[in-house]
Structure 1
Amino acid sequence: MCSPKSFLLVLGLGGTLSAGAQTRLDYPIQAVPFTQVKLADDFWLPRLKTNTDVTIPASFARCESTNRVKNFEMAAAHQGKFATTYPFDDTDIYKTIEGASYSMSLYPDAKLQAYVDELIAKVGAAQEPDGYLYTARTIDPAHPQKWAGQARWEKERELSHELYNAGHLYEAAAAHYQATGQKNLLTIALKNADLVCSVFGPGKRSVAPGHEIVEMGLVKLYRVTGQAKYLSTAKFFLEARGHYPGYDPKSTDTWKNGSYWQDDKPVVDQREAEGHAVRAEYLYSAMADVAALTGDKQMLAAVDSIWNNLVAKKMYVQGGTGAAGDGERFGANYELPNATAYNETCASVADVFWNQRMFQLHGESKYVDVLEKVLYNGLISGVGLDGKSFFYSNAMQIRNGQRYHDTEPARAGWFECSCCPTNLVRLMPALPGYVYAQRGSDLYANLFISGTTNLVINKKKVQLEQQNNYPWAGDLRFVVRPAGAPAAFNLLVRIPGWARGAAMPSDLYTFAGGPVAAPVRITVNGQPVAYAMKNGYAVLARTWRKNDVVAVTLPLETRTVQANARVLDDRGKVALQRGPLVYCAEWADNDGRTSNIIVPAGTAFTPVAKPQLLNGITALTATVPVVRVDAAANSVSTAPRTLTAIPYYAWANRGKGEMTVWFPAQVTDVDLLSQPPAADKAAGK
């Protein structure tokens, strides 16, 4: 295994970068590498183990059974016919290798490593002599897959995904090298990247990649090698956007005006999240990378504005993004419908990447608040508790057993386009790398996940241990263990927005009833301490001695959430949140229906631990009115009933049925149906 430091090589900048960029610019805050953080957490560790034991093997098996691996074998032989549907199916293998690489650094597995090496050999055999790697063309260059175009790169802007495939290859190669120290995949990736850099750039070919991620991948290779051409080419791809003359700027069609690809204007002039949500958030992650690594202030201003637009006007209450199924894209400002919500799982993965980068740029807790919201809600909802069933889109409402985007409101084992399952595969084992970050003498505790980290602060070795039962309890405990003599540094503990009375770092969502009543309490070795708040962090500056104990008590109350009045679908409704978790009501706990539940203002909820339910949860219960229909009497009334709400991430693990996140606070209207609901018909009622 290589040490984490070997991954962050000295950055030898030059080439087309500015003189200022040649002083080794970087993010002012650096994440503590995942290889230095060992989890011992009851919430996340079982999920990471399920990813290792179930999700990764299932993903590899499905890559085999769906002929994704066969495509590489045929490309190596230069015979056969492309055997899957999409030209980007290659990336499912890359992403699963990435996840397996992270996993092997946590759980060494000789059998898995041997299989990954076999796959890497097949990938290398499919690579053409000049570095080109794209099975959709290489199998039969005279008859490439229909999206690929007759010549290399000619359909890159719209359909081919050649650079998208390359980007995921680079991401996987960097992860594999970081986690294992092996260079077999890295060598393949660098050969391809050298080709890309020789083809694209100033005075050469120019294109705005149709599906972004090559930019992020090139930055990863730049970090590994220190070669400036990779960063320069990433910046070139960003700056290529907004210059294509083939779009109609007056058209409202997102494909025709270029906004679907975020190509309607130069990136430095973009101010709103637009177009395909996954592509966009990969783009914004790359903009943050390039802004940090080159000092591009215009790009920084643009990505800051886009983030503010998304968080203030285009994000669902559980962290989902991408309201419109038509184009898997963002809607207009405040366009957040529930019945037709799309919320692609890949968009949540991309949002985690982006918010981590924004935190590393600015050091403000609001970015981690959003990252946490996505992680605990809209992201892990995408994978079933079994680790091998998935949602591509994440609904906000299921009524009468019907779901807008899928024929059934149930999880699927895989998809013909299976980008989301393999994206989860690669994110989950990398989670330890999101817990802590450093800047000089400052150590940031961002996520509250039990475990230990070993790091160096001011040239002194320090171990920090977290002990908690988060997200079910708000009592946090940090044990500081300097090696040898006491160590002076600042421990910055994030005080989540929800603990400070903010449902969102904007006015898009607010807690009913104003700020929380209970304060955040912090003690050191049992004694209350005064602390300064800076950018959402409690700053504890002291000389730490071995086994000093910091205890933080967060006010974990159940709150009702209200949306901005401009979100039309949520007017007069409330959502439920406890700590970082957003809750929903599901049919299985509520007499088979959830669309008839009312949650009046002032409803008191009781948290109830249910260790045997859904792998262990804290549910919320309250007595509320529900709408009753008496068909015989031809009447409608309300009656009290116990509402049971579960964490949103856990829904759809017990079969099909109704689910809702937003509840009307009072009866304002009644929909009359000409026939019984589908669920009742199926039950013979």
Structure 2
Amino acid sequence: MKPPFLPLLAATLLSLTARAQPVQRADYPIQAVSFTQVKLADNFWLPRLKINNDVTIPASFQRCEATSRVKNFEMAAARAGKFATIFPFDDTDIYKTIEGASYSLKLYPDEKLQGYIDGLIAKVAAAQEPDGYLYTARTIDPAHPHPWAGLQRWEKERELSHELYNSGHLYESAVAHYEATGKKSLLNIALKNADLVCATFGPGKLSVAPGHEIVEMGLVRLFRVTGKPEYLSTARFFLEARGKFAGYDPKSPDSWRNGSYWQDHQPVKEQKEADGHAVRAEYLYSAMADVAALTGDRALLAAVDSIWLNMVSKKLYVTGGTGAIPAGERFGANYELPNATAYNETCAAVANVYWNQRMFLLHGDSKYIDVLEKVLYNGLISGVGLDGKSFFYSNAMQIKSSASFPQTEPARAGWFDCSCCPTNLARLIPSLPGYVYAQKGRDVYANLYISGTTDLTVNKKALRITQQHNYPWEGSLKLVVSPAAATEFNLLLRLPGWARNEALPAGLYQFATPSSQPISLRVNGQPVQYATRNGYAVISRKWRKNDVVELTLPLEVRQVKASPKVQDNLGKVALQRGPLVYCAEWKDNGGKAGNIIVPAATSFTTSYQPGLLNGIMQLQATVPVVQVDAANTSISTTRRTLTAIPYYAWANRGKGEMTVWFPQQLTDVDLVTRQPQEVTVGK
């Protein structure tokens, strides 16, 4: 039975949309082309979207059922029982999986899945309290809430309760569901909760800096749908509530446990560095970009620009991973990027994608998409196994076992007690079509090179662009441009930094030697002159149906060096081809990976292996490897074949050594004296 308030809210929503949207002025200068307008057809990403649809999402829903996450909503609806899971944010795993399933339904319509989602949404609606409050960890038994939550609503929001975190994921899910299906069932629930949040927090009302950010992003998304100004002003209020924590002591050795952990150590406009818990931080920075764009707040924009530069130039792994330090899942100090203990939470990769997309929409610079692409192809999809149902919570840069570092060997897990990462992947991967193109008036940006078709409007004329190629394995790209009628506009093709001798923006990583191979660009078979703007090739012309653009990018195996300030990587190189970072894994290299040396003059061959790891481009070279005799008394080197695979594909064939960074010469030897233990990585 539909609750009586839903028709009223639906009518209110339509009224707000019609009334408020035309007066919205400030926004991102560039707009992403919606995921609903882009259909993928490539050999790299489309199979991942299919596995996500067929395996990841059903497994996620099944695990939400099996672990009593769904039962929590049922008990909250009955106002009886005992909270049945571990963390008060377990509600969000359902929200995130609904979000991912909603995106996926656009590509793979499924009446059975849609019916299941409708049933789940009905359970969420029944669990919502009459005033809009929705938090099963309290509603089930208000007299005995989750110990992280406190006796009163919002009492421990700054620290542990995650009440607003739950709300934020609800809002994100609700908007995705509405945009994908046109249904308002989940959106109406979110609006009722958001109205309560806006009535509770704000000037002259309750003030708190949300302990785990994302409600700010979610409120902005609701504002975009409804135009209701309270949603944007409350998002801004939450940002401005930061920096008022009296207990913060920057000199304390445990300062990460107080203000800086929550990004609450300074007002957001005074923050200049990426600090604290990486996932929370990158959700915050995404919201800062949102609010800066929608309000024109230049001080907020300057702050998020400074933070981004600090992250990219001093706190980013070569795979795009962030959050180096396991204790607190946090950013470390500048250049603190250890390999063997790297944390790199998968959720941080998801958040980094959101943040860099927003930075691009603000500035129109390809460097943000360069970082986004690096994260997507490396540090993000490394978090999910090729089977679609096994995951990494953290993403290591090196696995070794020795006398001085008896490291355990991680295995992918199907689920975690804190299972934020699997469900975050379930929602991010099917939203990928929304990152391929963007538009600003007559400027059309091609940001990601993924085969498929998009339909958009330029100069009030329909336009279809079709990409046809085999990226990232091959660098010959073809785009067919077909306006409904001849029309003039600018097509901006991203010239990836790696194709312009830039390993990553800001110089933290550089290629060891420059490439002399050029980028080539043709239109209808003829070379064209083009201007460059912020890393884009700008082709300005009157386009006609079936114009063909051919962009050739040099795909070479490149050695990458880190800044000498990154102590762990002194004298070492990583391997990169196109957007992909490579690693050596035990399976291909005689059972070891930590004994491989890659001299500067090493020459690599590439070969596509369709039967290996769902199809990969494999790198090989003859290099020195270190050997230690059985008695640990003699050390020598011998030449063997190094086989490297894309980093994202590691740990799909069992447990063993892996490394991303290789010494260029023998400097020391770490003798193996005991066998590693086997454990499962998780939190």
TM-score for both structures, normalised by structure 2: 0.95
Query: Following TM superposition, by how much is the alpha carbon of 1:13 offset from its aligned partner in structure 2, in angstroms?
Result: 8.0
Partner of residue 622, structure 2: 623
How many Å separate the matches in 2 of 1:677 and 1:150?
49
Cα 1:118/1:402, change in 2 over 3 Å:
farther
Partner of residue 505, structure 1: 505
Query: Following TM superposition, by how much is the alpha carbon of 1:251 offset from its aligned partner in structure 2, in angstroms?
Result: 2.1
1:356-408 deviations in Å (ceiling 9; x for gaps): 00000000000000000000000000000000000000000011399999954
How many Å separate the matches in 2 of 1:444 and 1:83?
48
1:429 aligns with 2:427: no
Query: Following TM superposition, by how much is the alpha carbon of 1:634 offset from its aligned partner in structure 2, in angstroms?
Result: 2.4
How many Å separate the matches in 2 of 1:170 and 1:230?
11
User: Structure 2: which 5+ runs fail to align?
Assistant: 1-13, 679-683
Q: What does 1:106-145 align with in structure 2 at a 5 Å threshold?
A: 106-145=107-146
1:662 aligns with 2:670: no
Query: Following TM superposition, by how much is the alpha carbon of 1:252 offset from its aligned partner in structure 2, in angstroms?
Result: 3.4
Partner of residue 20, structure 2: 12
Partner of residue 355, structure 2: 354
Partner of residue 208, structure 2: 207
The more displaced of 255-264 and 336-345 is 255-264
How many Å separate the matches in 1 of 2:262 and 2:632?
56
How many Å separate the matches in 2 of 1:122 and 1:254?
41
Query: Following TM superposition, by how much is the alpha carbon of 1:107 offset from its aligned partner in structure 2, in angstroms?
Result: 1.1
Query: Which residue identity lines up with residue 248 of structure 2 in the other structure?
Result: Y
Cα 1:632/1:147, change in 2 over 3 Å:
closer
How many Å separate the matches in 2 of 1:499 and 1:582?
14
Query: Following TM superposition, by how much is the alpha carbon of 1:110 offset from its aligned partner in structure 2, in angstroms?
Result: 0.5
Partner of residue 522, structure 1: 521
Q: Is the 2:257–2:328 Cα contact (8 Å) retained in structure 1?
A: no
Query: Following TM superposition, by how much is the alpha carbon of 1:244 offset from its aligned partner in structure 2, in angstroms?
Result: 2.1
Q: Is the 1:401–1:409 Cα contact (8 Å) retained in structure 2?
A: no
Cα 1:435/1:652, change in 2 over 3 Å:
same
Q: What does 1:639-650 align with in structure 2 at a 5 Å threshold?
A: 639-650=638-649
Query: Following TM superposition, by how much is the alpha carbon of 1:506 offset from its aligned partner in structure 2, in angstroms?
Result: 1.2
Query: Following TM superposition, by how much is the alpha carbon of 1:497 offset from its aligned partner in structure 2, in angstroms?
Result: 0.1
Q: What does 1:324-473 align with in structure 2 at a 5 Å threshold?
A: 324-400=325-401, 408-473=409-474
Query: Which residue identity lines up with residue 587 of structure 1 in the other structure?
Result: W
Cα 1:405/1:300, change in 2 over 3 Å:
farther
Query: Which residue identity lines up with residue 678 of structure 1 in the other structure?
Result: P
1:389-443 deviations in Å (ceiling 9; x for gaps): 0000000001139999995411000000000000000001100000000001000
Runs of 4+ in 1 over 6 A off after TM superposition: 401-406
How many Å separate the matches in 2 of 1:669 and 1:262?
40
Partner of residue 182, structure 1: 183
Q: What does 1:259-270 align with in structure 2 at a 5 Å threshold?
A: 259-270=260-271
1:580 aligns with 2:579: yes
Partner of residue 220, structure 1: 221
The more displaced of 245-254 and 65-74 is 245-254
| Corresponding residue SS for 1:472 | coil
Query: Following TM superposition, by how much is the alpha carbon of 1:246 offset from its aligned partner in structure 2, in angstroms?
Result: 3.1
1:296-326 deviations in Å (ceiling 9; x for gaps): 0000000000000000000000000000000
Q: Is the 2:209–2:241 Cα contact (8 Å) retained in structure 1?
A: yes
Cα 1:404/1:190, change in 2 over 3 Å:
farther
Query: Following TM superposition, by how much is the alpha carbon of 1:257 offset from its aligned partner in structure 2, in angstroms?
Result: 4.3
1:100-133 deviations in Å (ceiling 9; x for gaps): 1111121111000000000000000000010000
Query: Following TM superposition, by how much is the alpha carbon of 1:669 offset from its aligned partner in structure 2, in angstroms?
Result: 1.2
Partner of residue 293, structure 1: 294
How many Å separate the matches in 2 of 1:199 and 1:360?
32
How many Å separate the matches in 1 of 2:143 and 2:404?
42
Partner of residue 18, structure 1: none
1:454-476 deviations in Å (ceiling 9; x for gaps): 11001011110001100001111
Query: Following TM superposition, by how much is the alpha carbon of 1:241 offset from its aligned partner in structure 2, in angstroms?
Result: 0.2
How many Å separate the matches in 1 of 2:654 and 2:404?
13
Aligned alpha-carbon RMSD (Å): 2.0
Cα 1:251/1:12, change in 2 over 3 Å:
farther
| Corresponding residue SS for 1:466 | strand
The more displaced of 629-638 and 661-670 is 629-638
How many Å separate the matches in 1 of 2:15 and 2:471?
31
The more displaced of 249-258 and 123-132 is 249-258
Partner of residue 243, structure 1: 244
| Corresponding residue SS for 1:510 | strand
> When the two structures are aligned, how many residues end up with a matched partner?
666
How many Å separate the matches in 2 of 1:431 and 1:407?
34
| Corresponding residue SS for 1:667 | coil
Q: Is the 1:56–1:99 Cα contact (8 Å) retained in structure 2?
A: yes
How many Å separate the matches in 1 of 2:16 and 2:581?
37
Q: Is the 1:68–1:89 Cα contact (8 Å) retained in structure 2?
A: yes
TM-score for both structures, normalised by structure 1: 0.95
Partner of residue 683, structure 1: none
User: Structure 1: which 5+ runs fail to align?
Assistant: 1-5, 15-21, 681-685
Query: Following TM superposition, by how much is the alpha carbon of 1:676 offset from its aligned partner in structure 2, in angstroms?
Result: 4.0
Query: Following TM superposition, by how much is the alpha carbon of 1:255 offset from its aligned partner in structure 2, in angstroms?
Result: 4.0
Partner of residue 676, structure 2: 678
How many Å separate the matches in 1 of 2:16 and 2:44?
30
How many Å separate the matches in 1 of 2:536 and 2:405?
41
1:64 aligns with 2:65: yes
